[in-house]
Structures are given as structure tokens and as C-alpha cells.
Amino acid sequence: NAGVTQTPKFRVLKTGQSMTLLCAQDMNHEYMYWYRQDPGMGLRLIHYSVGEGTTAKGEVPDGYNVSRLKKQNFLLGLESAAPSQTSVYFCASSYSTSGLNTGELFFGEGSRLTVL
Amino acid sequence: QQPVQSPQAVILREGEDAVINCSSSKALYSVHWYRQKHGEAPVFLMILLKGGEQKGHEKISASFNEKKQQSSLYLTASQLSYSGTYFCGTEQDFNKFYFGSGTKLNVKP
């Protein structure tokens, strides 16, 4: 019963390097999200996806790209990492309820990224 | 677009009550509440839907004022295990969630 799995859990990058964070869910959820969490800022939405092959921008999308080629996976990419992207990144997934509402979000354990 | 939470921090003794508020400037489809322990992922507590329906925790209650786009989380007879940071998540567009900056709750013996 894995739920939402994020890899890697920790990563240190140098400015300008690139990397990809992988989020995988085994609950057949339609919706997936990437958030970043910084002290005192709460969770800020980077990008999200409402289904396989679709992505959309959230509050803070600049410097990030995403892809959802398979329903169970949602990838977050940093093409040229900057120190301002040092943060804890959380992936979440959810399902649709019968009405115009989204069900609870299931979060991964987080990925701590440090950019030097 | 981020909802505003208040207070930012609360210190309680075991058995005391607390109220955490969440306010949005946009109309909401739903409000979610989550609790996060230090170093862990947020965990779901409750959903409040338009029309008054609630789903969630047995020992925690909440309200949702659709007209004012406000929600409150009520923690009664607090326990040590209630300590953590509480976030409200507001569904401002379908599928799109914005979280507040959190309320840090510290329950002491």
C-alpha cells in the first residue's frame, strides 16, 4: 500500500544544474499536484494535472516544468536550478467526487532540495 | 489567492480548546484542513463542501460560511497529539488548491 511515492528524498545541486523529481501514485487518481514548502510560506502550488497528458500552472510555476505522460506519474523538472529553488517539494494526488468537488489530497513524504 | 489563516501560532495546555480561522477572497468550491507534524507530510483532517456537507475526523469539527468564504477549525479538549501545523486548503477553482501559511499549534502537558 505505497500511496504517493517521491524520489529522490534528498538532493543537493549546484546553481545551473538540472534535475527531475518523480512522483508516483498507485491509487488511480486523476489529479496530481506539485507544491513547494518554505518556512512561513505554507504550501504553494507550482503545477498541477487533471489527467494523463494534461498540465497547468499554479501560483509559482516559473523555473519549473512538468509532464504527465502516464496517469500514475507526475514529473517536476528544474532546467537550471537557482538558490531560490531551495525548498521542500511535496507531491499530492486526489480523486474526483460525484459532484463539483475534489476529494482529499494524499501527500508524498516530500523531497528536500538544496541548491548551492 | 492564498487564503489567510489566523492565528499564526497557538500554545495550549492539554484539555483546552482552540479555534483556527481561514479566510479567502474568492468564492470556494470546498475547504480542506490538514495537519502536518515536523518533518512529515500533511495529513488530511476534514473536507467542507458547499451546502454544508462535511467529511472527516471524528474528534475535530469545522464550519464553512460560503457567503463569507470563511472556515473555522474547532479543536476541543486538545491532546498532546494535536500539536503540529494546521493548514487550510481552499478549492478556488475546480481541482486547484491554495493553502494558507499555516497555524502552529503547541499543546503542552
Digit-coded pLDDT (tens) for B66-78: 888 999 999 988 9
Sign of the alpha-carbon dihedral angle for B37, B41, B45, B48: positive
Per-residue burial over B12-38, b = 16 or more CB atoms within 10 Å of its CB, e = otherwise: beeeeebebbbbbeeebbbbbbbbbee
Q: How confident is the model at residue A71 (pLDDT cuts 50, 70, 90)?
A: very high
A vs B: CB pairs below 8 A:
68
Of A35, A42, A101, the CB nearest to B30: A101
- Terminal-residue alpha carbon distance, chain B: 37
Mean pLDDT is lowest, of A31-35, A51-55, A105-109, B52-56, for B52-56
Mean pLDDT, range B46-58, rounded to an integer: 74
Q: What is the pLDDT of residue B26?
A: 86
CA distance B101 to chain A (A): 4
Give the residue numbers in B contacting A (CB under 8 Å), as ranges: 1-2, 5, 29-30, 32, 34, 40-44, 47, 49-50, 55, 87, 89, 91, 94-102
Q: Which residue has the higher pLDDT, A50 or B95?
A: A50
Reported as a pLDDT band with limits 50, 70 and 90, residue B53 is low
- pLDDT score at A31: 92
The pLDDT, as a whole number, for residue B2 is: 87
What is the DSSP secondary structure assignment for residue B10, as one 8-state letter? E
Binned at pLDDT 50, 70 and 90, residue A99 comes out as low
The predicted-structure confidence for B6-26, as pLDDT tens digits, reads as follows: 999 999 999 999 999 999 988
Contacts of A3 (CB under 8 A, 6+ apart): A25, A26, A27, A106, A108
Minimum Cα–Cα distance from B45: chain A residue: A104
pLDDT tops 60 at residue B50: yes
Cβ-Cβ contacts under 8 Å for A115 (sequence gap 6 or more): A12, A13, A14, A15, A81, A82, A83, A84, A85, A86
Nearest CB neighbour to B47, from listed A104, A107, A108: A104
Percent pLDDT > 70 in chain B is 94
Q: How far is B31 from chain A (nearest CA, A)?
A: 10
Tell me what pLDDT residue B94 has.
74
pLDDT over 70 (residue B57): no
Give dist(CA A11, CA B37) in Å, integer.
22
Distance CA A42, CA A57 (A): 18
Find, among B89, B53, B88, the residue nearest to B74 by Cα: B88
Residues of B with Cβ-Cβ distance to A31 under 8 angstroms: 95
